[in-house]
């Protein structure tokens, strides 16, 4: 069978002539291969172009995200530095309060800082860890100060202060005197305050009533324990308003002035003791 041949007709625009071109089998194959190659290269170029566009879009997106992260990181850094500056002020105030409270004050300032916020290599974790350490130090210091102030307030509230009988007159001082009953000089362990029967008697410090009863010498009496080894006694009362175990606060009315027990007239016998030893109540008025 003779090889097939192809005739290609070429028309020129605006011309009457038609050109004929005969193409043999080999040339036909070459033309087909050339067309396929062109189509293949075009397709590959299209996909490579799309791939390049996609990579550029991805790079642009990542650059935008990175820029946003950097801005957020710098903002966070600025906030952390602001907090650290506030901690410096807090540390300075803490030192002043500790000095007023007569507590040891740190000789070094561990929280000083300076310079601009770093633009690169920022270690946020290290800054946060540093803040946590500083805050813990301040918390411990505040707890120590609070504990001391609480103790001081408790001691102040437990220390007898003021006159238990507001309208009374001192009739017998603390110290040795001629005993009104039995003769001889004896230690008068309290302070006598004369007042009409029924005059309110107020406790002079916070505490717990430890004894309510009657004694032949003291008459109707009340003893209040205040803690820290401090106690007060109120004797010769006409009426008792509290019971053993009651908690009382400074200024509470606990008894009324009377003339019970060994007494020459209506008055309150008031005692202050420290660890069981009598003290002059005048020092606590």
Residue 13 has pLDDT above 70, yes or no: no
What is the per-residue pLDDT for 24?
Answer: 66
What is the per-residue pLDDT for 101?
Answer: 67
Helix or strand (DSSP H, E) at 233 = strand 230-240
Q: Which CATH class is domain 169-284?
A: mainly beta
What is the per-residue pLDDT for 221?
Answer: 97
Distances (CA, A) of 282 to 7, 170, 173, 260: 140, 10, 8, 23
**Top-confidence residue, 185 or 270:** 270
When mean pLDDT is compared across 146-150, 198-202, 270-274, the lowest value belongs to: 146-150
What is the rounded distance in angstroms from the CA atom of residue 9 to the CA atom of residue 282? 139
Average pLDDT in the chain: 81
118-172 residue pLDDT tens: 444 556 677 777 777 877 887 788 788 878 888 888 999 999 999 999 988 999 9
What is the per-residue pLDDT for 110?
Answer: 47
34-49 residue pLDDT tens: 767 766 776 776 666 7
**Top-confidence residue, 10 or 259:** 259
Give the percent of the chain with pLDDT over 90. Answer: 41
Domain boundaries, the chain: 6-62, 77-158, 169-284
Q: Is the overall model pTM greater than 0.75, yes or no? A: no
What is the rounded distance in angstroms from the CA atom of residue 212 to the CA atom of residue 82? 61
Indicate the pLDDT class of residue 94, thresholds 50, 70 and 90: confident
Residue 115 has pLDDT above 50, yes or no: no
160-199 residue pLDDT tens: 999 999 988 999 999 998 877 766 788 999 999 999 999 9
**Continuous H helices in the chain:** 25-100, 124-158
Dihedral (CA of 260, 266, 269, 270) sign: positive
Indicate the pLDDT class of residue 9, thresholds 50, 70 and 90: low
Indicate the pLDDT class of residue 1, thresholds 50, 70 and 90: low
What is the per-residue pLDDT for 215?
Answer: 95
244, two tokens: 């053993």
Distances (CA, A) of 16 to 13, 36, 61, 224, 228: 8, 32, 60, 138, 132
Q: Which of 66, 255, 76, 224 is nearest to 157 (CA)?
A: 224
Indicate the pLDDT class of residue 241, thresholds 50, 70 and 90: very high
Question: What average pLDDT does this structure show over 197-225?
Answer: 97
49-90 residue pLDDT tens: 767 667 777 877 887 878 887 777 777 777 777 777 777 777
Torsion of CA 59, 60, 61, 64, to 10 degrees: 120
What is the per-residue pLDDT for 118?
Answer: 47
What is the per-residue pLDDT for 112?
Answer: 46
């Amino acid at each position: 069978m003779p090889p097939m041949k192809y005739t290609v007709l070429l028309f020129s625009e605006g011309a009457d002539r038609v050109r004929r071109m005969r193409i043999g089998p080999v040339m036909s194959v070459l033309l087909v291969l050339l067309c396929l190659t062109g189509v293949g290269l075009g397709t590959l170029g299209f996909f490579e172009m799309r791939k390049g566009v996609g990579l550029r879009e991805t790079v642009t997106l990542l650059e935008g995200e990175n820029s946003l992260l950097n801005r957020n990181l710098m903002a966070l850094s600025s906030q952390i530095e602001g907090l650290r500056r506030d901690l410096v002020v807090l540390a300075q105030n803490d030192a002043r309060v500790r000095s007023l409270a007569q507590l040891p004050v740190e000789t070094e300032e561990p929280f000083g800082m300076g310079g601009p916020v770093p633009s690169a290599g920022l270690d946020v974790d290290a800054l946060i860890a540093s803040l946590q350490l500083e805050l813990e130090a301040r918390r411990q210091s505040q707890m120590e100060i609070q504990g001391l102030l609480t103790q001081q307030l408790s001691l102040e509230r437990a220390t007898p202060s003021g006159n238990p009988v507001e309208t009374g007159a001192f009739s017998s001082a603390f110290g040795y005197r001629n005993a009104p009953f039995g003769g001889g000089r004896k230690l008068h362990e309290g302070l006598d305050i004369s007042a009409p029967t029924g005059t309110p008697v107020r406790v002079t410090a916070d505490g717990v009533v430890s004894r309510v009863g009657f004694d032949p010498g003291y008459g109707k009496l009340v003893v209040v324990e205040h803690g820290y080894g401090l106690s007060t006694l109120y004797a010769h009362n006409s009426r008792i308003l509290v019971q053993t175990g009651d908690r009382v606060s400074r200024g509470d009315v606990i008894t009324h002035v009377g003339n019970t027990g060994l007494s020459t007239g209506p008055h309150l016998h008031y005692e202050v003791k420290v660890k069981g030893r009598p003290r002059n109540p005048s020092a606590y008025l």
